[in-house]
A and B are shown apart, each in its own frame.
Chain A
């Protein structure tokens, strides 16, 4: 089955490791020109070279601090200089302060906005005109399953990642006539460097082993395992493909039925 996205160009945020890297690799395997970005240029370059070696398709490494507007502008500029177009954007931003209402201060909320919502808004503003020109575009925002099942211990993440759903849905309506599809993917705990860090922290807090924590987290999913980056990459790649040409404005849970709610 040909996914029909060869030679498209994709910016994948935070793609030197974890979920971003898995998405970049799978898109590159489909013949997409992938732009790998990370705060650390060496990390981005290493991943870009690794992917290019494996797939034989062009990659570009860009140093980018997604929390910085100038850096985001550079990311888009360098992508256009190299590939002349942008067809796909996968946003994957922010890991905000955790805690409930009284543990969080104004600065934490400001950072939640600056590091989760606004980078996605700004990137969409910059890339959509290029997608409009070619009358084809795919934007996939990586959010979190907390948007469907709010977690009071992760209040900022819950609130701002939910705002990504509203952004995606509104943009899907505004730019649908231009052939631009905008969707959100909502993953639970995944085996990424971030996920592993979190499990280590929870293990220390509970005086348990990391393996015990993972077993507990696996047990609350119906599939008895945590997510693997490839699970997310498959869904994102599918949504970016020609096969998903009638899906837009959706938020799709990817949690192995950990969430027990209905819709």
Chain B
């Protein structure tokens, strides 16, 4: 079973850290031409150097755009598409998680801000890339969401709300598109990223427990007894983005070491 993405162009968002970066790395290893999209140009340049180029003709590039500025993303992608001669086949929608806290304490402005960060930007990118996917006869839209879409997490009010919205948005697209474009969500559980390490450090500080204790509690909630690595999430993204997964469409695949205990 050869998972190859040779000749495929992939736009990978939020790709200078964590799951997004691991996804860019794995997709490049499988032969895809990667276009990174993030806001920090210095980090983009650094990540670009880490991408595999062993396939003949394999080329990577980046777009600087801030997901918080949806108009900026629209303009940046529009400009990029006018210059690019071949279409994108793969879109990996991914961006950082919203701030913690109970939903009831969040202002409507914050909800709108993060709804825009995730949903609006995902939508703009999908709309921009779908014509090219149709033209090339190959399309994969993979949205990095969270296992919170299945089981809302404590103290993650905005995140839980947005993840649910993304599921509805993605399934609707899956039901509208086809026959050569699939739309799927990957729902990671606790993954060893800088973002999670910061959350854990914050929890430890707030509760007066050691960082190790906080990790211990989290590990105990995962049947595999550990966090996932960004690469373990990226592997699933890569499979779904590949021709091998051509019949997987409209799904929510949880990758969380068994933490979500629902059917």
Residues of A that sit less than 8 Å from B by CB: 1, 3, 26, 29-30, 162, 165-166, 169, 172-177, 179, 181, 221-225, 227-228, 231-232, 234-235, 237-238, 243-257, 259-263
Contacts and interface: CB of A to CB of B under 8 A. Distances in A.
B162 to A, nearest CB: 15
A177 B219 CA distance: 11
B261 A238 contact: no
A214 B87 CA distance: 33
Contacts of A250: 253-254
B218 to A, nearest CB: 14
Nearest to A249: B258
Nearest to A234: B244
A31 to B, nearest CB: 11
Interface stretch (B62-70, B176-184, B200-208): B176-184
B260 interface: yes
Interface string B208-240: 000000000000001111001100110110110
B137 interface: no
Contacts of A231: 246-248
A245 to B, nearest CB: 6
Contacts of B149: 263
A172 B258 CA distance: 7
Contact of B1 (A30, A172, A221, A224): A30
Nearest to B235: A243
Given A173-B223, A257-B178, A246 B233 contact: yes
B99 interface: no
A253 B232 contact: no
Nearest to B253: A252
A246 B167 contact: no
Contacts of A246: 189, 224, 228-229, 232-233, 255-257
Interface of B: 1-4, 29-30, 149-150, 167-168, 171, 174-180, 182-183, 189, 222-225, 228-229, 232-233, 235-236, 238-239, 244-258, 260-263
A219 B15 CA distance: 37
Given A1-B2, A252-B253, A263-B150, A223 B179 contact: yes
B263 A177 contact: no
A260 B176 CA distance: 10
B252 A256 contact: no
Contacts of B258: 172-173, 176, 181, 248-249
A1 B263 contact: no
A169 B225 contact: no
Nearest to B167: A262
Given A30-B1, A176-B225, A263-B167, A1 B30 contact: yes
Contacts of A224: 178-179
B261 A166 contact: no
Given A1-B3, A173-B223, A222-B179, A245 B245 contact: no
A136 to B, nearest CB: 12
A248 B177 CA distance: 29
Contact of A253 (B178, B229, B236, B250): B250
Contact of A244 (B236, B246, B251, B261): B236
B1 A234 contact: yes
Contacts of B253: 247, 250, 252
Contacts of B225: 176-177
